[in-house]
Structure 1
């Protein structure tokens, strides 16, 4: 699995854990819903700015978000 897929999988997991829709995540992160859908599918090469918007929308930080066994080799 590549990093785009890992990031997308984590976004989807957190979104589902918080029981929010893609549309709601789009609204609170100010990222287009179609873009978020593509991120979750591992189809987007996400910029650091978009990562920050999404991670902040989950009310977390980069360290917490990436401190996951799925991001470690």
Structure 2
């Protein structure tokens, strides 16, 4: 398997958790007061997201930073 870019791994984890909540990108971005365009670029791995915004996203997803990074996506 090809190793994924770190931005892509973060985006895939966000998408996984957001989908588990049944929220659209737009609804979730609105709920955490983040631009939908910016959020979409983070989720698709096109944007290098700051740790502050990862924490904001994780909080909106109802997980801690530890919980966010507790995924096989980050075990490589």
Fold shared by both chains (TM-score > 0.5): yes
Q: Cα deviations across residues 10-61 of structure 1 (Å, max 9, x unaligned)?
A: 1111111111011111122121101111111100000111111100001110
C-alpha separation between the residues in 2 aligned to 1:47 and 1:31?
13
- Residue in 1 that maps onto 2:58: 55
Any unmatched runs of 5+ in structure 1?
none
Q: In the alignment, is residue 21 of structure 1 matched against residue 47 of structure 2?
A: no
Q: CA deviation at 1:8?
A: 0.3
> Helix, strand or coil: the match of 1:42?
coil
Query: What's the RMSD between the two structures over aligned residues?
Result: 0.9
Q: How many residues align?
A: 73
TM-score (norm 2): 0.89
> Helix, strand or coil: the match of 2:56?
helix
Residue 41 of structure 1, aligned match among 39, 44, 50: 44
TM-score (norm 1): 0.93
Question: Which contiguous aligned blocks of 4+ residues in structure 1 show a shift greater than 6 angstroms?
Answer: none
